[in-house]
Amino acid sequence: MRVLVSDPVAEQGIDLLRQAGFTVEVKTRQSEDNLVATIGDFDALVVRSETKVTRRVIEAGRKLKIIARAGVGVDNIDVAAATECGILVVNAPEGNTIAATEHTLALMLALARNVPQANSLLKQGVWERKKFMGVELNGKTLGIVGLGKIGTQVAKRARAFGMRVVAYDPYVAEETARHLGVELVDFPKVLAEADFLTFHLPLSKDTYHLIGPREFDLMRPGVRVLNVARGGIVDENALYEAIKQGKVAGAAIDVFEEEPLRESPLLELEQVVATPHLGASTAEAQVNVAVDVAQDIIRCLRGEPVLNAVNIPAVPQEALAALAPYFVLLERLGKFAAQVISGRVEEITIRYNGSIAQYDLTPLTNTFLKGFLRPVLGDAVNYVNAPVVARKRGIRLTESKTAEMVNFANLVSMELATDAGPVSLAGTLLQDQQPRVVSFNGYRVDAIPEGHILVIPHLDKPRIIGPVGTLIGAEDVNIAGMQVGRKAVGGEAVMFLNIDAPVSPATLAKIKEIDGVLDVKYVQI
């Protein structure tokens, strides 16, 4: 077996592969053309963030069985193409947790005590004390948005500094937060109460510019903002203006929308502490991620289950043909559910009806959880660890199955209990194996869970569908399909609109203001 390492990784990981009897070749800084020309001779590929594993590269990998990302994100890998080609993609979601946690604390202390600015001036021969009066962490409130692995570790260490910790994370149960000594609050409250505010969540359509002008207005004067998660979560122009206006006392930034960063007005501000994406840059973290992916490569090439699969769960060969189409359905139902709920999830119940009940359906349930958790937690969630992640966040899971058919040959239904009330949905595959949502909160529908979708609960009365279509058309967005479900004439109903492109938040707000519209949710799958 041959393994190609195309980005620099720690030698400990390479040594493990060689000790397992594999031939390892390290060839870094290859162009796409060079990689396409050579990848056909290898069984495994190891990358970090520099190598772009495109569809061309993947399709040229005739012998390729696994692609390993020595890190968390897999945005440089065409995961869909790998899945189509039956190639496993794995990552190392936990290896750099402590590194990112400690860098967050380092930046917080540097920000509080003006360490970089004082250091720079002193090295220029200037002894200045009054200018660099700092603040203590003790007694301050730390606001955390995203209480996953890194957010949790930051919270533990912040409490050791004597800080009060408040957090927003709709996927964490109250009991879990209490064990950490963290107060769970809603998003506006975490903004309003924080003296220091830090983010630990992935970049997605929902978190892009999560913090902008409106959010800065909600913060208390003198707040200090940290971003050691992903560039783009904080609107950098809005942050610059908030600092210039005095609303934000300072910021510590490790990640930027454009990297490598060459210039930014933020770097001109004395109140800003910046580092060049060093969150995972410790010797220990680099060893951890290299060893983690090396171990999964060894498992894969020996035909054993891997621990950190990103795209393909382990399924017995005899069940694969029957269940394969349902992985797409369950992942899409998970993504759909994550984007239509409003409250904090406490319990998920999944029921399987039909002929698929003869199989072990745990991989399908894990696929739903992965799809459900990933919009908030990103690539740290995979097919293997999704149940553990859900359990750690206090989400109770119940799975049941029966061969009895309910309206369809096979039906998958789920109910999510949240503190804002239950949400239910059901899906199936049609004869062409295409996924469909066939029920939502008790309404019968036939909706395609794909692309851009508007879900609009409303009163069943005239002059609702027309105005909605007019507002969407005003943005030059085409409606590709529409489904309306209702239980009784004149009662409540739900509208599903498949649209060709997203509409602006302003248009969504206008739709919600239409007389008779009860809510509107934008879903992207």
Q: Would you say residue 445 lies in a domain?
A: no
Q: Would you say residue 505 lies in a domain?
A: yes
Alpha-carbon distance of 499 to 522, in angstroms, equals 10
What is the domain count for the chain?
4
- Sign (positive/negative) of CA torsion 56, 61, 65, 67? negative
Alpha-carbon distance of 359 to 319, in angstroms, equals 7
Alpha-carbon distance of 451 to 497, in angstroms, equals 11
pTM score: 0.76
Tell me the pLDDT tens digit for each residue of 47-67.
Answer: 998 999 999 999 999 999 999
Place 173 in a pLDDT band, splitting at 50, 70 and 90.
confident
Q: Which of 435, 464, 481 is the last residue of a domain?
A: 435
Is 233 in the same domain as 170? Answer: yes
Enclosing domain of residue 175: 97-274
Is 266 in the same domain as 139? Answer: yes
Is 110 in the same domain as 35? Answer: no
* DSSP symbols for 79-123: HHHHHHTT-EEE--SSTTHHHHHHHHHHHHHHHHHTHHHHHHHHH
Is 301 in the same domain as 253? Answer: no
Instruction: Identify the weakest region by mean pLDDT among 195-209, 316-330, 445-459.
Output: 316-330
Q: What are the start-end ranges of the E strands in 162-311?
A: 164-168, 183-184, 196-199, 223-227, 248-253, 272-274
Is 136 in the same domain as 240? Answer: yes
Tell me the pLDDT tens digit for each residue of 232-279.
Answer: 999 999 999 999 999 999 999 999 999 999 899 999 999 999 999 999
Is 109 in the same domain as 255? Answer: yes
Structure-token match 């969540």, residue found: 201
Q: What is the pLDDT of residue 307?
A: 86
Beta sheet of 396-402, edge-to-edge order: 396-402, 345-354, 410-418, 423-429, 435-440, 443-447
Is 131 in the same domain as 253? Answer: yes
Q: Which of 274, 293, 323 is the last residue of a domain?
A: 274
User: With 80 as the cut, is the pLDDT of residue 431 above it?
Assistant: no
Alpha-carbon distance of 510 to 468, in angstroms, equals 9
Q: Residue 309 in contact with residue 366, Cβ under 8 Å?
A: no
Q: What is the pLDDT of residue 381?
A: 82
Tell me the pLDDT tens digit for each residue of 72-127.
Answer: 888 899 998 888 787 999 999 889 999 999 999 999 999 999 999 999 999 999 99
Q: Partners of 444 in the beta sheet?
A: 439
* DSSP symbols for 374-430: HHHHGGG--TTTHHHHHHHTT-EEEEEEES--BSBSEEEEEEEEETT--EEEEEEE-
Q: Would you say residue 444 lies in a domain?
A: no
Is 302 in the same domain as 371? Answer: no
Alpha-carbon distance of 375 to 190, in angstroms, equals 20
Measured in whole angstroms, the distance separating CA 309 from the mean position of its chain's CA atoms is 15
Q: Which of 409, 435, 461 is the last residue of a domain?
A: 435
Query: What would the two tokens of residue 295 be?
Result: 């171990």
Is 137 in the same domain as 185? Answer: yes
Is 118 in the same domain as 50? Answer: no
Place 314 in a pLDDT band, splitting at 50, 70 and 90.
low
Place 317 in a pLDDT band, splitting at 50, 70 and 90.
low
User: With 80 as the cut, is the pLDDT of residue 182 above it?
Assistant: yes
Place 313 in a pLDDT band, splitting at 50, 70 and 90.
confident
Tell me the pLDDT tens digit for each residue of 323-377.
Answer: 888 999 999 999 999 999 988 899 999 999 999 999 999 999 999 999 999 888 8
Q: What is the pLDDT of residue 144?
A: 98
* Active site amino acids: 230, 259, 277
Task: Give the domain CATH number at 12.
Answer: 3.40.50.720
Alpha-carbon distance of 258 to 460, in angstroms, equals 47
Is 265 in the same domain as 324? Answer: no
Alpha-carbon distance of 216 to 241, in angstroms, equals 10
Is 252 in the same domain as 349? Answer: no
Place 386 in a pLDDT band, splitting at 50, 70 and 90.
confident
CA neighbor of 522 nearest in space, from 70, 220, 245, 507: 507
**Mean pLDDT, rounded, for 385-395:** 88
**Mean pLDDT, rounded, for 142-164:** 97
Percentage of the chain modeled with pLDDT above 90: 81
